[in-house]
Structure 1
Amino acid sequence: MVVAFHVLFDIPRNAMSSLQINVGARQNHSLSPHLQRAVHMLQMSSLDFAALVRGKMEDNPFLEEEGIDTETAHEGLPSVDMAASTQDQAMDAEHSPDREIWLADAFQGSAHRAEGSDISAMDFTESPTTLAMHLHGQLNVMPLPARDLAMCQAIVESLDEDGYLRTDLHELVAILPESHAPHVDELAFALRLVQSLDPAGVAARSVGECLLLQCSGIDDPRMSELARRMVSEHLAAVAKRDVTGLSKRLGETPLFVEQTIDRIKRMNPRPGWSYSSSRVDYIVPDVIVRRDRKGWDVQLNPAVVPHVRLNKVYEKLFQRHKTKDHAQLIDHLQDAHWTMRNMEQRFATILGVAQAIVRKQQYFLEYGAMAMKPMILREIADEVGVHESTVSRVTNNKYMATPLGVFELKHFFSRSMTSASGEACSPTAIREVINDMIAAESPTSPLSDGDIARQLESQGLKVARRTVTKYRQLLGLEAGEKRKRLA
């Protein structure tokens, strides 16, 4: 509860000043730093959470990886009798100068690499191949004179993340050393050489030039030539997909023009992204669902549970020898206990939510998407005994491996849609019905979105045409007219 004092200075028209003090009370709901961190840990993906725990193990001497025998960790340490069974031995060791020195070294240096070691964790990480490295590797195997190679290398080093050359050739002349002193025409020749390298479209100075460089990769000579003309002369019309106008101007059939546009659309306008150093996140299921004799069994995926535990030996030593000067170590110990508790709570909550989802959606696991039931967060929250916001965080970036595939936990939640008979159905089930309708249609007479909406209504499912269009696009299916042309 926060009491706010509002001091208001009220100056009336008669120039008489008065002071008003209004005392009001208002309640602010704020999360403590520990609770904020717990909430953040709960909604993290399994990969991010594992990286967080690894970082804590490196920085916190009280956390260690499971499998390390801490009972023998004391062997070889000077002036320390870890097996001391009598109180006298413990007291003698407690005041030993050597022991105090070892304790300080153990707690402060446990997270660092051992001195004299030439191997670090970074030695085992794979170095990503950048676009510049990829291009330099191709140039280095070409029989180029040193002067030409220097010009090509200068162009490569001037490319941006997209793989484009945004620097004017006249500016590149000033970059190269005077010993080479190239002319702009020579740099233009070097640029064409770099543009011939892999990936296609690299070192372009505009989107049009990037696409034009990729036209030579079209196997059909007639389509390749048409694509060149369309990109170099009518790029705006290609972007607008003006099939009729392009057909008249280029003297080609609308079908061939549309096929060429589709081929141009599949070109890569940012060839540099193929060698981007951005991180790639892989989906690792947090829970695994299997069918056994008793029903559906839900278990945590052992691969996502960090193998970390509290170092009891270090904790006991520190509790016996801690002083007011060990504030940082006290924080480390508290953080270690907090991390272990929150890690247990995180996985217990994930498992509980996953088990509740499976109980609600067992027909989906048995019969497929058409049996998906509408389900909201409150249903799972009430069953597990947590708040809706907790369920929302748990289902964020968490995945479940089932016999039908790997699904994000959010996949199982959807609003209810009422059929003509008054029964509730899930949008996921309706999408599956639409998918089956399109799969069973005649290739020469495909269904339009309006046709699908009418058929759904005849089956008791009243769905608007625009909703059908949205569901069809979510399924990655083309419109009826384009499906007919592709057929």
Structure 2
Amino acid sequence: MRQSLQLRMGQQLTMTPQLQQAIRLLQLSTLDLQQEIQEALDSNPLLEVDDQENSPENNQQDDDFDYASSQESSSSEPSNDFEEQVTDYEMESGDALNKDTVSDELAMDVTWDEYMSAAPAASSGPMPDDDMVYQGETTETLHEYLMWQLELTPFSPTDRAIAVAIVEAVDESGTLTVSTQDIVDSLNEGSDEEEPIELDEVEAVLKRVQLFDPIGIAARSLQECLCIQLNQYDSSTPWLAETKQILNEHIELLASRDYRTLMKKTKLKESDLKEVMTLIHSLNPKPAASVIHEEPEYVVPDVSVKKVKGRWVVELNPDCMPKIRVNDQYAAMSRSVRSSSDSQFIRSHLQEAKWFIKSLESRNETLMKVANCIVKQQQAFFEHGPEAMRPMVLNDVAEMVEMHESTISRVTTQKYMHTPRGIFELKYFFSSHVSTENGGECSSTAIRALIKKLIAAENAAKPLSDSKIADILAEQGIQVARRTIAKYRESLAIPPSNQRKSLI
């Protein structure tokens, strides 16, 4: 095989490290971006926080955009070659996107000071008795809480071993995950005791553990959990006997909400059954929920929207990230140092610092363009609520700001907008459309809001079926199939009509 040299010409798109950095910064959330900025400040000596930019005198409304300025910015050409490179790369890559992504509403209307566990006192004088100082929250798992009660309960060594095995078999929902026979087998296996543990001993200890706080913990079923709580009621409690009968003998009818059959078998009138249901509703089907506390998730909005003189104005959140700049003193040292290695070190870090600042500026500019476009398209939402949401997909915004869909997807992912109606992820404002009778379009988000409103106002004794909701929407000119109503209802975590039926 003979070797030879050939000359070929071709074109290909090269993704430079600077372009990679710009795309990565564009898709970072606010919290991740703050961490990225801090890492850049720690690794690059030529970057520093610009304290003057954060001063009240210089913190003007430079980032504020109204609709007029937004339209000019959206329709104009990219401001620099750097943004053109990003846009060209996005158009070349053509990432696949989901155009009907809706996120849950998150809200944070508190300040950091409210979560300070113990602030220093203003003076060393005595504190008034009626002052309450928040000292933080004690986080304790369900297992730790039960073990603490177990240590305070007098048990024999054998009963204590059984109680420990029971507590360890309780899951986060408070349910006993193994049978009592399994506990007997596990304790007797490899035991040196002459007398093996009997099933009756485990049952007796289980009853004691089930009386730990919260009452009904370590139950093997919902029926047992509710019955344990009922047994703590005084025997003179009205309708107690009837309630126990229903839970013990007709739990299936109660779960299916078949009240007609339930009244027939128990020979109770509807008014009597309402009293029984009131007593049942006073019980706690998930007692462990009162002990387990989930850690709150905080969201820092990237942009905020407010109405100023009748116009909706969008502005960047100045607190979401620090203002950074190049240290002029270090940058000037590149011309005065004698060592070539030192000069090269400063020059390389200076170039990195400039690219990093330029990437941040490009990110903020792109975010403002997209946010202004969203607010302009969804003015009805800000005025009237989710029921007035207009259908909008990523391509609509991409055409208005002259960017690729993948860029819009990166900008709207994990970016949040603070509005008078709450804090929303930017993707919340995108939804598919449903055709109406008059040839118009209705947003799927608006349909979800209408379904939620109809169900909230329904008669609990006769809840609306999916077909009935479809008929009501059809009367308003919105043609939606029953299965579509069911899909939207399930996305809202709303149970079907037979499970929403209630006597009280």
TM-score band, normalised by shorter chain: 0.5 to 0.7
Cα distance change on mapping 1:216 and 1:352 into 2, 3 Å: farther
Number of aligned residue pairs: give it: 405
**SS class of match (2:286):** coil
1:293 equivalent among 300, 309, 321: 309
Deviation at 1:242, TM superposition (A): 6.0
Cα distance change on mapping 1:422 and 1:166 into 2, 3 Å: closer
Partner of 2:429: 412
Partner of 1:192: 207
Kindly indicate whether structure 1 or structure 2 has the higher relative contact order, using CA contacts under 8 Å at least 6 residues apart: 2
**SS class of match (2:315):** strand
Distance in 1 of aligned mates of 2:15 and 2:479: 45
1:46 equivalent among 19, 26, 30: 30
8 Å Cα contact 1:381-1:388 kept in structure 2: yes
Partner of 1:144: 154
2:393 equivalent among 341, 362, 376: 376
Cα distance change on mapping 1:163 and 1:480 into 2, 3 Å: closer
8 Å Cα contact 1:214-1:267 kept in structure 2: no
Q: Does 1:267 align with 2:285?
A: yes
Identity %: 38
Partner of 2:373: 356
Question: For residues 111-130 of structure 1, what are the structure 2 equivalents within 5 Å?
Answer: 128-130=139-141
Cα distance change on mapping 1:130 and 1:438 into 2, 3 Å: closer
**SS class of match (2:432):** coil
Moved more, 42-51 or 148-157: 148-157
> Is there any run of 5+ residues in structure 2 with no aligned partner, and where?
1-8, 53-134
Distance in 2 of aligned mates of 1:235 and 1:57: 63
Distance in 2 of aligned mates of 1:362 and 1:39: 29
Moved more, 382-391 or 442-451: 442-451
State the one-letter code of the partner of 1:170: V
Distance in 2 of aligned mates of 1:46 and 1:176: 55
Partner of 1:135: 146
**SS class of match (1:298):** strand
Distance in 2 of aligned mates of 1:166 and 1:311: 61
Tell me the alpha carbon deviations over residues 335-378 of structure 1, each in whole angstroms, 9 at most, x when there is no partner.
76665444443333222211111111223222333433222211
Tell me the alpha carbon deviations over residues 36-75 of structure 1, each in whole angstroms, 9 at most, x when there is no partner.
665455344434444555566667777666659xxxxxxx
Question: For residues 86-101 of structure 1, what are the structure 2 equivalents within 5 Å?
Answer: none
Cα distance change on mapping 1:390 and 1:284 into 2, 3 Å: same
Deviation at 1:146, TM superposition (A): 7.8
Question: For residues 213-362 of structure 1, what are the structure 2 equivalents within 5 Å?
Answer: 213=228, 256=273, 259=277, 263=281, 267-268=285-286, 271=288, 275=292, 280-293=296-309, 295-306=311-322, 340-362=357-379
Distance in 1 of aligned mates of 2:173 and 2:184: 21
Cα distance change on mapping 1:125 and 1:210 into 2, 3 Å: same
**SS class of match (2:298):** coil
State the one-letter code of the partner of 1:46: T
**SS class of match (2:437):** coil
Tell me the alpha carbon deviations over residues 374-427 of structure 1, each in whole angstroms, 9 at most, x when there is no partner.
222112112223211221232223322222333332222223333333233333
> When the two structures are superposed, what TM-score results if normalisation uses the length of structure 2?
0.59
Partner of 2:183: 169
Distance in 2 of aligned mates of 1:445 and 1:189: 45
Distance in 2 of aligned mates of 1:442 and 1:238: 19
Cα distance change on mapping 1:314 and 1:138 into 2, 3 Å: farther
2:474 equivalent among 457, 473, 476: 457
Q: Which has the larger radius of gyration?
A: 1
Cα distance change on mapping 1:205 and 1:172 into 2, 3 Å: farther
Distance in 2 of aligned mates of 1:201 and 1:30: 64
Distance in 1 of aligned mates of 2:340 and 2:185: 64
8 Å Cα contact 2:222-2:285 kept in structure 1: no
Distance in 1 of aligned mates of 2:149 and 2:455: 47
State the one-letter code of the partner of 2:154: L
**SS class of match (1:275):** coil
Moved more, 235-244 or 368-377: 235-244
State the one-letter code of the partner of 1:304: C
8 Å Cα contact 2:188-2:197 kept in structure 1: no
Distance in 2 of aligned mates of 1:296 and 1:34: 35
Partner of 1:389: 406
Cα distance change on mapping 1:479 and 1:339 into 2, 3 Å: same
8 Å Cα contact 2:263-2:270 kept in structure 1: yes
> When the two structures are superposed, what TM-score results if normalisation uses the length of structure 1?
0.60
Distance in 2 of aligned mates of 1:414 and 1:34: 33
8 Å Cα contact 1:288-1:301 kept in structure 2: yes
Deviation at 1:484, TM superposition (A): 7.4
State the one-letter code of the partner of 1:132: H
Distance in 1 of aligned mates of 2:144 and 2:339: 52
8 Å Cα contact 1:130-1:275 kept in structure 2: yes
Moved more, 211-220 or 284-293: 211-220
8 Å Cα contact 1:162-1:273 kept in structure 2: no
State the one-letter code of the partner of 1:268: K
Question: For residues 4-153 of structure 1, what are the structure 2 equivalents within 5 Å?
Answer: 39=23, 41-51=25-35, 53=37, 128-140=139-151, 142=152, 144=154, 147=157, 152-153=163-164
**SS class of match (2:403):** coil
Partner of 2:78: none
State the one-letter code of the partner of 1:144: P
Cα distance change on mapping 1:416 and 1:132 into 2, 3 Å: closer
Cα distance change on mapping 1:437 and 1:268 into 2, 3 Å: closer
**SS class of match (1:296):** strand
